[in-house]
Amino acid sequence: MRWQRPSGPVSVAEFLLLADHCGLMTRLTDLVLDNVCRQVVRWREAGAQAPCISVNLSAQDLDRCDLADALLRIVQRHRLQPTDVMFEITETELVTRIDSARAQLQLLRAEGVEIAIDDFGTGFSSLAQLVALPVDALKIDRSFLLGLPGEAKREQVVQVIVNLANDLGMQVIAEGVERPEQLAWLACLGVNAYQGYLFHGPAPAEHWTSLLRNKRKRLTGWEATESRH
């Protein structure tokens, strides 16, 4: 999401907070998902191998009693498959709405949609809750990568998260990868996918078309084919 105005851009942190206060987050989610699905179709029509795209869900989305039906309708309207998208929920939002969210997430998962917990490690969720949720991936919060490799305590925390995900049959995605040594260290742990400025910065959808046409396109000197984002 970007908000451009004549005087300059409005920060995401500012306008999403305003949208949340005004009760507009669910409408933004529907708008984003609709645009993502439309773009996936455009990429494929252009001969690009469009990856599974992640869309963030807000706390307000988790309160929707028709969440699964509403999201699936948008995907189906573009004649895409549920496996073409992944939904991400921050750990903090999930912990505060775990009972109301579980049923809707289970409905999405039953249709083939993958679910990821974003910013994992920042919300202090219990293992009992984690086991009970239909979750496919844990995304390690970028704050844990600061100073890695080299900081023993942070290394231990990341190792625990990776081991936990592996034991539960979940993927592990590392956020905020910015240096080659971080990538090399995470790869040795068995992390499944990465995102961060080491691979590429944010860019308009058109920028990615030529890159996606070549599945093994090299980005910033590293193979990025394993990254979902």
> Could you give the angle at the alpha carbon of 172 between the alpha carbons of 167 and 177, nearest 5°?
145
- Based on the fold, state whether residues 58 and 141 are members of the same structural domain: no
Domain assignment present for 222: no
Long-range contacts of 66-69 (CB under 8 A, 24+ apart): 67/104, 67/108, 68/104, 68/105, 68/107, 68/108, 68/111, 69/107
- Based on the fold, state whether residues 142 and 111 are members of the same structural domain: no
Q: Which helix (H) or strand (E) holds 18?
A: helix 12-21
What is residue 222's predicted lDDT score, i.e. its pLDDT?
40
Q: Is the pLDDT of residue 64 over 50?
A: yes
What is residue 123's predicted lDDT score, i.e. its pLDDT?
64
pLDDT digits (tens, 9 = 90+) for 157-216: 999 999 989 988 999 999 999 999 999 999 999 999 999 999 988 888 888 998 888 764
Q: Is the pLDDT of residue 228 over 90?
A: no
- Based on the fold, state whether residues 160 and 196 are members of the same structural domain: yes
> 120 has which bridge partners?
140
Q: What CATH number has the domain bearing residue 86? A: 3.20.20.450
C-beta of residue 203 within 8 angstroms of C-beta of residue 2: no
Q: Is the pLDDT of residue 220 over 60?
A: no
Closest-CA residue to 110 (of 102, 118, 100, 119): 102
Number of structural domains in the chain? 2
Domain assignment present for 83: yes
Question: Does the global pTM surpass 0.95?
Answer: no
Tokens of 103: 């049923």
What spatial distance separates the first Cα and last Cα of the chain, rounded to whole Å? Answer: 15
Residue 139 CB neighbours (<10 A): 26
Q: In what order do the strands lie in the sheet with 137-140?
A: 53-56, 85-90, 114-120, 137-140, 171-174, 193-194
* CA dihedral of residues 221, 224, 225, 228 (deg, nearest 10): -170
Q: Which domain holds residue 93?
A: 11-116
- Based on the fold, state whether residues 15 and 99 are members of the same structural domain: yes
- Based on the fold, state whether residues 105 and 17 are members of the same structural domain: yes
DSSP string, 40-84: HHHHHHTT-----EEEE--HHHHT-TTHHHHHHHHHHHTT--GGG
Domain assignment present for 75: yes
pLDDT digits (tens, 9 = 90+) for 17-61: 999 999 999 999 999 999 999 999 999 999 988 888 999 999 899
Amino acid sitting at position 15: F
d(CA 133, CA 114): 12
Q: Which helix (H) or strand (E) holds 138?
A: strand 137-140
Domain assignment present for 128: no
- Reduced to 3 states, what is the DSSP secondary structure of residue 118? strand
